[in-house]
Chains A and B, each alone.
Chain A
Amino acid sequence: MPHAFDEMSSTDGAVRPAYETLQRWLAEVPQDVLDHRRKEAEFIFRRIGITFAVYGEQNAQERLIPFDIVPRILTKDEWTRLSRGLEQRVKALNMYIKDVYSKREILKAGIVPENLVYQNPAFRPEMNGQRVPHDLYVHIAGIDIVRTDPDKFYVLEDNARTPSGVSYMLENREIMLRLFPELFSMHRVAPVENYADDLLATLRSLSPHGGHEPNVVILTPGIHNSAYYEHSFLADKLGVDLVEGRDLFVKDAVVYMRTTEGPKRVDVIYRRLDDDFLDPLAFRRDSVLGVPGLMSAYQAGNVTLTNAVGTGVADDKAVYSYMPDIIKFYLGEEPLLPNVPTWRCREADHLKYVLEHLPELVVKEVHGSGGYGMLVGPASDKAQIEKFRDKLKADPANFIAQPTLALSTCPTLVEKGIAPRHVDLRPFILSGSDKVRIVPGGLTRVAMKEGSLVVNSSQGGGTKDTWVLDA
Chain B
Amino acid sequence: MRIRIRHEITQRFEPGTRNMAVTVRMTPRAHEGQFILRWALDLNSDCRLHPQEDAFGNLCHTFSVDGPADHLTVCAEGEIETQDTTGIVRGTVERFPPSLFLRQTDLTEVDAALAALAADIEAPADDPLAQLHALMVKVHETVEEQDGPTLADPLSAAEAVKAGTACAGSIAHVFTAAARHLGLPARHISGYVVPEDGEEGEGEARHWAEAHVPKIGWVSFDAGRNICGTENYVRLAVGLDAVGVQALRSTGLDVEERISALDGRAPQKLAQAQSQGQN
Say if the beta carbon of B31 comes within 8 Å of chain A: no
Say if the beta carbon of B19 comes within 8 Å of chain A: yes
Q: How many residues of A contact B (CB 8 A)?
A: 25
Complex CA–CA separation, A300 to B21 (angstroms): 14
B residues within 8 A CB of A114? 97, 99
A residues within 8 A CB of B66? 251
Say if the beta carbon of A252 comes within 8 Å of chain B: yes
Query: Are B243 and A115 touching (Cβ within 8 A)?
Result: no
Q: When each residue 271-299 of chain A gets 1 if its CB lies under 8 Å from chain B and 0 otherwise, what string results?
A: 00000000011100100000011001001
Per the 8 Å Cβ criterion, residues 116-154 of A in contact with B are 118-119, 123, 125-130
Say if the beta carbon of B249 comes within 8 Å of chain A: yes
A residues within 8 A CB of B162? none
Q: When each residue 20-34 of chain B gets 1 if its CB lies under 8 Å from chain A and 0 otherwise, what string results?
A: 111100000000000
Say if the beta carbon of B165 comes within 8 Å of chain A: no
A108: nearest chain-B partner, CB-CB: B97
Say if the beta carbon of B52 comes within 8 Å of chain A: yes
Complex CA–CA separation, A129 to B50 (angstroms): 18
Assuming the contacts A114-B97, A296-B62, asked whether A281 and B52 have C-beta atoms less than 8 A apart, the reply is: no
Which of B50, B97, B100, B240 is within 8 Å of A252, CB to CB? Answer: B50
Q: When each residue 117-136 of chain B gets 1 if its CB lies under 8 Å from chain A and 0 otherwise, what string results?
A: 00000000000000000000
B48: nearest chain-A partner, CB-CB: A252
Q: When each residue 390-414 of chain A gets 1 if its CB lies under 8 Å from chain B and 0 otherwise, what string results?
A: 0000000000000000000000000
Query: Are A115 and B99 touching (Cβ within 8 A)?
Result: yes
Per the 8 Å Cβ criterion, residues 27-74 of B in contact with A are 47-48, 50, 52, 54-56, 62-64, 66
Complex CA–CA separation, A114 to B63 (angstroms): 35
Say if the beta carbon of A195 comes within 8 Å of chain B: no
Per the 8 Å Cβ criterion, residues 230-253 of A in contact with B are 249-253
Which of B47, B55, B97, B251 is within 8 Å of A126, CB to CB? Answer: B55
Assuming the contacts A128-B95, A292-B251, asked whether A249 and B102 have C-beta atoms less than 8 A apart, the reply is: no
CB B67 to nearest CB in A, in angstroms, measures: 11
Say if the beta carbon of B250 comes within 8 Å of chain A: yes
B180: nearest chain-A partner, CB-CB: A119
Query: Are B55 and A296 touching (Cβ within 8 A)?
Result: no
Say if the beta carbon of B12 comes within 8 Å of chain A: no
B residues within 8 A CB of A115? 99, 102
Query: Are B50 and A296 touching (Cβ within 8 A)?
Result: yes
Complex CA–CA separation, A126 to B62 (angstroms): 15
Query: Are A119 and B64 touching (Cβ within 8 A)?
Result: no
Query: Are A293 and B55 touching (Cβ within 8 A)?
Result: no
Query: Are B19 and A249 touching (Cβ within 8 A)?
Result: yes
What's the dominant secondary structure at chain A's contact region? loop
Complex CA–CA separation, A251 to B100 (angstroms): 32
Assuming the contacts A129-B55, A249-B19, A281-B249, asked whether A293 and B62 have C-beta atoms less than 8 A apart, the reply is: yes
Complex CA–CA separation, A296 to B62 (angstroms): 7
Which of B19, B95, B102 is within 8 Å of A119, CB to CB? Answer: B102
B residues within 8 A CB of A118? 96-97, 99-100, 102-103
B97: nearest chain-A partner, CB-CB: A114
CB B18 to nearest CB in A, in angstroms, measures: 8
B residues within 8 A CB of A125? 55-56, 96, 100, 103, 240
Complex CA–CA separation, A119 to B99 (angstroms): 9
Chain B interface size range: 20 to 34
A285: nearest chain-B partner, CB-CB: B243
A residues within 8 A CB of B20? 292
Complex CA–CA separation, A296 to B250 (angstroms): 12
CB A83 to nearest CB in B, in angstroms, measures: 36
B246: nearest chain-A partner, CB-CB: A285
Which of A119, A251, A252, A292 is within 8 Å of B250, CB to CB? Answer: A292
- Give the most central of A114, A119, A126, A281: most B CB within 10 Å: A281
CB B80 to nearest CB in A, in angstroms, measures: 26
A residues within 8 A CB of B23? 281-282, 293, 296
Complex CA–CA separation, A251 to B103 (angstroms): 33
A residues within 8 A CB of B96? 118, 125, 128
Complex CA–CA separation, A49 to B42 (angstroms): 54
B residues within 8 A CB of A300? 50, 52
Per the 8 Å Cβ criterion, residues 14-52 of A in contact with B are none
CB A268 to nearest CB in B, in angstroms, measures: 20
Complex CA–CA separation, A285 to B246 (angstroms): 11
B53: nearest chain-A partner, CB-CB: A129
CB A308 to nearest CB in B, in angstroms, measures: 14
Query: Are A293 and B21 touching (Cβ within 8 A)?
Result: yes
Query: Are A292 and B21 touching (Cβ within 8 A)?
Result: yes
Query: Are A281 and B95 touching (Cβ within 8 A)?
Result: no
Complex CA–CA separation, A130 to B95 (angstroms): 12
Assuming the contacts A119-B102, A128-B96, asked whether A253 and B19 have C-beta atoms less than 8 A apart, the reply is: no
A residues within 8 A CB of B62? 253, 293, 296
Complex CA–CA separation, A129 to B94 (angstroms): 12
Complex CA–CA separation, A127 to B95 (angstroms): 11
B residues within 8 A CB of A292? 20-21, 250-251
Assuming the contacts A126-B54, A252-B50, asked whether A281 and B100 have C-beta atoms less than 8 A apart, the reply is: no
CB A149 to nearest CB in B, in angstroms, measures: 43
B49: nearest chain-A partner, CB-CB: A252
Complex CA–CA separation, A114 to B97 (angstroms): 10
A107: nearest chain-B partner, CB-CB: B97
Query: Are B52 and A296 touching (Cβ within 8 A)?
Result: yes
B52: nearest chain-A partner, CB-CB: A299
CB B229 to nearest CB in A, in angstroms, measures: 23
Complex CA–CA separation, A174 to B97 (angstroms): 52
Name B's A-contacting residues (CB within 8 A).
19-23, 47-48, 50, 52, 54-56, 62-64, 66, 95-97, 99-100, 102-103, 240, 243, 249-251
4 closest A-B pairs by beta carbon, nearest first, are: A293-B21, A296-B62, A292-B21, A128-B55
A125-B103, A249-B21, A293-B62 are known; give 15 further A-B pairs, CB within 8 A. Answer: A118-B96, A118-B100, A118-B102, A125-B55, A125-B56, A126-B54, A128-B55, A129-B55, A249-B64, A252-B48, A281-B21, A285-B243, A292-B250, A296-B62, A299-B52
30 contacts between A and B (CB under 8 A): A118-B99, A118-B100, A118-B102, A125-B55, A125-B56, A125-B96, A125-B100, A125-B240, A128-B55, A128-B95, A128-B96, A129-B55, A249-B19, A249-B21, A250-B21, A251-B21, A252-B47, A252-B48, A252-B64, A253-B50, A281-B251, A282-B249, A285-B249, A292-B20, A292-B21, A292-B251, A293-B22, A296-B21, A296-B50, A299-B52
